[in-house]
Every structure is written in structure tokens, then in C-alpha cells.
Structure 1
């Protein structure tokens, strides 16, 4: 059977599961402890199932069997007792991981919002340990585990809170940090470690009441770094609290060590929920703001496109794609001001398609439109890049020649006149021949008004028509 990369990732967690279990048992043997305050393998088992699904159950079963058998041997049990402990306890560890996995639902939605956080706490962290640790506790005592905790209820509470805390600490780290690049993760962890360590050191060195500054620190971390930061902070707080309690440096929360460990677990769970909640709320606000910004950007782009279309409609002729009369007036005024300011000249030409009314009457307006488009393309192809062609109205066109006199404009205008007269226009009704009459003049200086310029070029056009059409008058 072919294995998937995610199954291989889960397989790599087997030695981590066993190592963390043995580490927890070793810490439990250290005075004044009798059980470890946090059971990290419970979280590792859940991650195995998140990676490999149901196929991860045998891996959890194997990891638990090895861990429990090795633990019994470490505490002085026989080989037979160790093997029996591994066989009896492993199914309940696997059941706990399976129940937590089923409680996750869609993992990507688990810590996506406050509702997902509630589901995570009740259905992933709390319910699976409550349903399984009582059986594991009974098995341990039936096999003869030394009862160093005062009272079965206290021991059961320690096991339940330890498994619950393991799920609470490890799972968010996996869910939120798998998307964080390792360089950023390392730097972020160092910053948060310094922030968490400060109130702990103040509580040890100055006054125990300063430990309450830790709450403000966690809130700041959640606000600054969102759910990613709160997950790291809770994990570091758990580690620091465990080390302080095992070293008998931390505040004793109860007279009995077993109850101290239970109280510490409950404290970490309670303190950890607040920054997670704050981080998720702010993250949701960030997501909403990001979504709104995207929508605003999309609407802005859409409005700009509409604005461009409106500008095109306002300044362009829809039939030929040339600038319309409004655009022509704007450009003509700009060219007049530029020429006046720099002492330059420019030429202006007015073209009219000869006998265009006959084309419309004989072939229809659609054919006339085809002729207009063909003439517009030919004019644009015959002038310079800086020259501008406009549709003046009907079958009339204007051309502005910047930095050119009437003599300079004659060269492209003659080419236009010849090409239109010699080349037929291909239409749906066949090939048609036509011609143009052109009037051309030039700007006479700062005292030459626009109306006078337009009047001259219009008169020259009619002179070309009177002289027989298909010609240029200047």
C-alpha cells in the first residue's frame, strides 16, 4: 500500500510521542512530584490523526504502548507488568486521541473564530480526557502503581487536567504555526519568551503579587501577535510554571502537591483562554478589514474602469474610434497655447468625403459607416505619431499637425488624397471608390483666434470643392 507524505509526517511523530511521555514520567519521579502537570503526548496523538486521519490510530496505539511499557520499567515494574500496562493503556490513549480528532471537525475552522475556540476547549481539550483518564487511572492502580498522590480523586484529577492541558497547549501550536515561516517563528518565540519571563522574574525577585502582571503580558501578546502569539505564550507559560513548581520556586497553590498541580493546570487553562479569545477577535477584525479593503479596492478599480469608459464615450467617436468634436476643441486650444508660448506654429486640415450623400442614398447608411471607418483608418496610418485625427461631424474630419506649417502638412495630406482616390473601400456591398476634398491652413501667431483659424480652414475646404473636389486648397 502506497503511503502519503502526511502519513510519513505522522510516523515521524512516534519517537517524539514516546520521548515526551518518558520525559513526563521522569519529571513525575522528581520530588515533590508524583505526576506531571502537563501530558504533552495527548496533543501529539491528536496531531498524528490530524495528519494521517484514521490511518494514524495504529501509530498512536504503538506510541502509547511503547511509552507506557517503558514507563513501568522505569518505575521498577517487571517485564510482564510493563507489557500488560502497554497493552491495556494504549487503547484508551488512542481512544482519547480519536475523540479529540472527531471533536475537531474541520481543523482549519477550529481556531478561526471565538465559536471555534469554544468547540476546541469543550470537545477537544476537556471531553476526551474526562471520558478516558478514569479508566487509565484504574488500570494503573490495578497493576500496582505506587499511589503517592493523596487520594484517588486527586490522582484522577491530576491525570485528567494533565491530558487536557497537553491538548490545550500542543494543538493550537500545530494549527496556527504550521503556516508561519521558521525564521519568523524563531524571532517571535524569543520576543514572547522575554515578555513572559519578565513578570515571572519580578514575582520571584520582588513580590509574589507581581505575578498578576502576567495577565497583562498575555493580553498584550494577543493584541500584538494575535492567536499565533497567544499560542506561543501559553506554551511558554506552561513550561515555565512546570519548571518553577518542580524546583519549588513557584507559589504553592495548595498544601498538597497533587492539588497544587491540578490548580496550576486549571490556572493555565483559564489564563490561556483569555488571550486566545482576544487574539481571535482581533484576527477576525483584521480579516473583516482586509475583506473590506479588498472590496473597496475592487469597487475603486471598477469605478475607474467605468470612468475610463465614460471618458472614452465623452471624448471619442463611437463609430470610427477617433476623437470627437469635444476632444478636438480641447486639443486645439492646448496646441494654440503651446504654440503661442513657444513661438511655434501648427497646421490644421479639414477633410470632407466627396459625394458621401450619394453613398448613403445608393448603398445605405451601413455601407456609409463602413466607408467612414475605412477613411479614418487610412488617415491615421498616413500621418505622424504626434498628429491627431478627429471626426468633426458627418463625413468631415479634422487633423492637427503640431510643429508643422501648411507646407509640411501637404506631404501627408497629398498621400491621403491619393490613397483614398486610388484604393477602393471594401464593403458588404462590394468595392466602392471615393475621394476627399481638403482645406489646410496654419496658425498665424498669438493674435490668431481659434474661430478665425476654423473659419479659414472651412473656407479653404469649400474652395477645394468648388475647384472640382479630390484636391487640396491652402
Structure 2
């Protein structure tokens, strides 16, 4: 079993930045979200950063977290005037390190694939957020009581606050880190949504501070709307900023959750932020799963509908398209043309040069076919070296003009397949439907018959 995972020299810069981020998050939290004693906050974002450090660096992150936490917490502990501030700060800093290591272990055991679906969030919240922070909160709280920083009668409420605040730090930071690691940067459209919702949240928070506290509850619907419009990384970023802003406003003795003397008001605040974060992340993860599922479905649908070698439509897709065009033509009286194409002497190409070269020839012929079609035309590989083209709103004569251009271009082209330079030609048969009792199969049979007329007439020609 590997107990230590030492960072490489390439990871040194990341390690230094992570320690700096931990220290700044802790100090900023004390300034914006402080509760007494001054080293304890309503929101401990550093717990999430500590978990990320452990996930990246392994157990070697433990002393780094302890060092950063000690540096951030010692000034506040020393100002409290109790005995042995360095010792009690070291114990509390060690508890922060324990929280990061335990969160890493729980993550690897219970959610090894990361947060990929909404159902992962409950396991993540209980096993990764609440469990490790309960252990560290008990360690910190007992340490503060024994050091004279906290009265025994405040122990229960203090532990409750500490667990929620530290858990919230993990819940806000880790999904943000994971999503920005895995996903592309938000698109321009995502950016517009993020900016619009950010302005809306800012307005709601401003109104709440101005004496209309109910507006703070409109922040959740705004975030819900965002969760269905942008990628998870954008949602996680704005969610974190919104929740930090709400807590920061309360820390400045403003907003609907501020109460000068009520511990319950503080618990109401962090509970509101925690549940809001949980709900929004759950919905965003579910939406992300739906997007991924839809993208996968589209990929497989594209594979099923197209020939994998040439990228043209498959026979199974092409035939229904011809039937639909036939019905439209029968109703409207407007013609359509159908062409059948076959590469001349293609068996000899495979026999002489091999199937890999033959595949390259098929692919290049398909590209030439596509370059000679209108947007409304549909081309397919019917099988082997045989192709079909559907020309809506076209007579046989009009289709023949485009097809003759294609035939001449192919005759003049030299196809490259590895070290080989090969010239091939193509034979074409074209049929048209102008209304009447003729069936789609009959039109196709006519085009097939004309194709063989072209082949029997010397190949490299077109018949209609």
C-alpha cells in the first residue's frame, strides 16, 4: 500500500499556490465571516482547499495543511490571551489536516469516479463533507474548551456550527475544482447567462440588505434557472460566489440573517447556504448527466445513420429519405431525381493495392461527391463501391449536369493512398420521378438499370 505520494518538481508551483490559497481563504474568512473566537468562521473555504490538496498530493498534503492553518490561525489564538496559544493552534491546525485526509479517503472509497450524477451528491455530502468535518470539529472544539478559549456550555452549538461551516467549504470548493478540471471554459452564451444571473443575484442581495429580506430567497430560483442553461463549472462558480456573498453580508452585520445575539440566526444562515448549495449542485449534476447522455445518444445516432468509412448516409437511412421525397413529389407534382453510381473496376484496386488503399479511394470519392452537391441533396454509400444520390426538386436533366461535372472531376483527379497514386472513373445511372403510379422501388430499379447500361456501354459515362 502506498502511504506517501510526494509531489514532483513540476508540482512544486501548484503546491505553493495551494498553500497560499489555503492561507488566504482562512484569513479572508476570518475577516468576512468571523465568529468568536476570531479564528472560527461561518464559512471555512479552507476545508475544501485542503481536500483538493490531499486529492492532488496525497498524504504529503497533511503537513502542508497544518503549516498553512497554523499560520492563519495563530494570530487570533494569541490575541485571545489564553495559555499556550501555539500548542492549541497546532492541535486545531492538525485537526484541519485530519479533515482533508479523511475527506480524501472517503472520496476515494465512496465516490471514486467523482461527482458525475445527482445521486453522488448525497453520498458526497454525508461521507466526504459531514463525516470528516465532524471528526475535526470535535477535535477543535475540545481543544478550545481545554485551552480556555470556549466555555463548556457553548460546546454543542459550537460543534454544530463548525461542522456545517467546514462541510460547506468542501461542498462549495471541491465541485468547483472538479468541474473546472474536467470541462471546457464557458462559451460566450454561457458567459451572458452567468453575467445576467450574477446581476440578478446582486440586485436581490442588495434589496435584502435594504430592508426587504424576502428577496434573498429569490436567489435560489435564479440559480435553478442557471443550472439548466450553462455547464456545471459555470454554475459551481456563480453558486460559490453567491453563497460567499450572502455569508459575507451577514458577517458585516447586514442582511436578513444577521442577529446581534442569536446563535440560531447564524445556524439558519449556514443551513440556508448549505441546503441551497446542495439543491443547486444536485440539479446541475443531473442536468450535466442529461447533456452527456444526449451527446452520447447523438454520437451513436450519427454512427448508426452514417457510413463509418466515408461519412455518407447509410443505406438504412437513405431509403426512407427517398420514400419521403417520393411521397412529397407525388403530392406536389414537383420532380426529384435519383442517381446510382459505381466505381469502375474497383475490385482490381483492392486486388492490386489491397483493401487499405481501396478504403482510401472510397473515402476520397465520397469527398468529391459531397463537394458537388447542393445543401438539400443527400448522398449515401449503398454498399461496396456503390453510391446513391437523391436530388430533390430536380429533373434527370438537371441532376445530370451536376453528375457529369462530378464524373469529369474524378476522371481528371489523381487519388493518393499512401505511396500510391491512383486514377479511377465512375459510371452513373439517373432516373427521375414526375408523378404517377411509379413506386420508389421502381425509380431506384430504373436508376440501377441505367447504371448497368452505362457500365455495359464502356464505363466512365452517365445514362439517364
What band does the TM-score fall into relative to the shorter chain?
Answer: 0.5 to 0.7
Structure 1 partner of 2:356: none
Contact 2:33 2:250 in 1 (8 A): no
1:301-380 to 2 correspondence within 5 Å? 301-302=306-307, 304=312, 307=315
Structure 1 partner of 2:142: 138
Structure 1 partner of 2:179: 176
1:223-242 to 2 correspondence within 5 Å? 223-242=228-247
Q: For residues 154 and 254 of structure 1, do their structure 2 counterparts lie closer, same or farther at Cα, with a shift above 3 Å needed?
A: farther
Q: For residues 32 and 247 of structure 1, do their structure 2 counterparts lie closer, same or farther at Cα, with a shift above 3 Å needed?
A: farther
2:117 to 106, 113, 117: 113
Structure 1 partner of 2:105: 102
Contact 1:29 1:35 in 2 (8 A): yes
Contact 1:43 1:170 in 2 (8 A): yes
* 275-284 vs 54-63, greater mean Cα deviation: 54-63
Contact 2:33 2:248 in 1 (8 A): no
1:291 to 279, 289, 296: 296
Instruction: Mark the runs of 5 or more structure 1 residues left unpaired by the alignment.
Output: 328-333, 340-379, 403-449, 451-474
1:230-309 to 2 correspondence within 5 Å? 230-252=235-257, 256-302=261-307, 304=312, 307=315
SS in 2 for 1:158: helix
Structure 1 partner of 2:126: 122
Question: Which TM-score applies when normalising by structure 2?
Answer: 0.62
Structure 2 partner of 1:411: none
Contact 1:46 1:101 in 2 (8 A): yes
Shift of the alpha carbon at 1:197?
1.4
- CA displacement, residues 380-422 of structure 1 (integer Å, 9 cap, x when unaligned): 99xx98999x9989xx9633898xxxxxxxxxxxxxxxxxxxx
Contact 2:65 2:96 in 1 (8 A): yes
2:458 to 381, 399, 423: 399
Whole-angstrom CA distance in 2 between matches of 1:50 and 1:156: 26
Whole-angstrom CA distance in 2 between matches of 1:338 and 1:36: 78
Whole-angstrom CA distance in 1 between matches of 2:123 and 2:264: 27
SS in 2 for 1:145: coil
Shift of the alpha carbon at 1:23?
3.0
Q: For residues 275 and 299 of structure 1, do their structure 2 counterparts lie closer, same or farther at Cα, with a shift above 3 Å needed?
A: same
Q: For residues 398 and 279 of structure 1, do their structure 2 counterparts lie closer, same or farther at Cα, with a shift above 3 Å needed?
A: same
Structure 2 partner of 1:91: 94
Shift of the alpha carbon at 1:270?
0.9
Whole-angstrom CA distance in 2 between matches of 1:283 and 1:320: 51
Q: For residues 151 and 180 of structure 1, do their structure 2 counterparts lie closer, same or farther at Cα, with a shift above 3 Å needed?
A: same
SS in 2 for 1:151: helix
* 175-184 vs 50-59, greater mean Cα deviation: 175-184
RMSD, aligned α-carbons: 4.4
Q: For residues 99 and 398 of structure 1, do their structure 2 counterparts lie closer, same or farther at Cα, with a shift above 3 Å needed?
A: same
Contact 1:27 1:33 in 2 (8 A): no
Whole-angstrom CA distance in 1 between matches of 2:214 and 2:427: 83
Q: For residues 37 and 387 of structure 1, do their structure 2 counterparts lie closer, same or farther at Cα, with a shift above 3 Å needed?
A: closer
Whole-angstrom CA distance in 2 between matches of 1:125 and 1:2: 25
Whole-angstrom CA distance in 1 between matches of 2:256 and 2:81: 32
Whole-angstrom CA distance in 2 between matches of 1:282 and 1:88: 42
Question: Which TM-score applies when normalising by structure 1?
Answer: 0.61
Shift of the alpha carbon at 1:37?
0.7
Whole-angstrom CA distance in 2 between matches of 1:101 and 1:307: 52
Shift of the alpha carbon at 1:239?
1.7
Q: For residues 85 and 34 of structure 1, do their structure 2 counterparts lie closer, same or farther at Cα, with a shift above 3 Å needed?
A: closer
Shift of the alpha carbon at 1:231?
1.6
Whole-angstrom CA distance in 1 between matches of 2:347 and 2:7: 65
Shift of the alpha carbon at 1:202?
3.0
Instruction: Mark the runs of 5 or more structure 2 residues left unpaired by the alignment.
Output: 1-5, 320-338, 350-385, 388-395, 402-421, 429-449
Asked if 1:70 is matched to 2:129, the reply is no
Whole-angstrom CA distance in 2 between matches of 1:2 and 1:167: 22
Whole-angstrom CA distance in 2 between matches of 1:98 and 1:233: 27
**For this pair of structures, how many residues does the alignment match?**
346
Q: For residues 210 and 53 of structure 1, do their structure 2 counterparts lie closer, same or farther at Cα, with a shift above 3 Å needed?
A: same
